[in-house]
């Protein structure tokens, strides 16, 4: 598998409502942090995440987190 494109070197912090989200793993989506289908034809697939209650989350923006789809600070080592 190739390396993902770094969408940004900081987390994408936002308030989210309960529901199902598909986090972009390839870094090519124009709708960061969410998948827009740009991974088609690659080895990447989006990560499905179900949020049970309204809360603030820090989605990984660098696409290198070991806790994907959430930020683990990996961007500070890039």
**Global pTM value:** 0.94
CA dihedral 76, 9, 48, 28 (to 10 degrees): -140
Query: Is 36 a member of any domain?
Result: yes
Check pLDDT > 80 for residue 1.
no
Query: Is 5 a member of any domain?
Result: no
Q: Report the number of distinct structural domains present in the chain.
A: 1
Token pair for 15: 């308030």
Query: Is 20 a member of any domain?
Result: yes
> Which residue carries 């972009």 as its tokens?
24
Query: Is 69 a member of any domain?
Result: yes
What is the band of 2 on the pLDDT scale with cuts at 50, 70, 90? Answer: confident
Query: Is 6 a member of any domain?
Result: no
The 10s digit of each residue's pLDDT in 26-77 is: 999 999 999 999 999 999 999 999 999 999 999 999 999 999 999 999 999 9
Residues belonging to the chain: 78
Q: What is the mean pLDDT of residues 13-37?
A: 98
Which structural domain range is residue 67 located in? 12-77
What is residue 76's three-state secondary structure?
A: helix
- DSSP at 74: G
């Amino acid at each position: 598998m190739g390396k993902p494109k770094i969408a940004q070197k900081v987390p994408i912090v936002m308030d989210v409502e309960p529901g199902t989200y598909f986090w972009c793993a390839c870094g090519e989506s124009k709708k960061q942090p969410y998948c827009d289908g740009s991974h088609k034809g690659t080895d990447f697939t989006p990560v499905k995440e179900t949020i049970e209650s309204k809360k603030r989350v820090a989605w990984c923006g660098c696409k290198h987190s070991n806790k994907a789809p959430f930020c683990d600070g990996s961007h500070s080592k890039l």
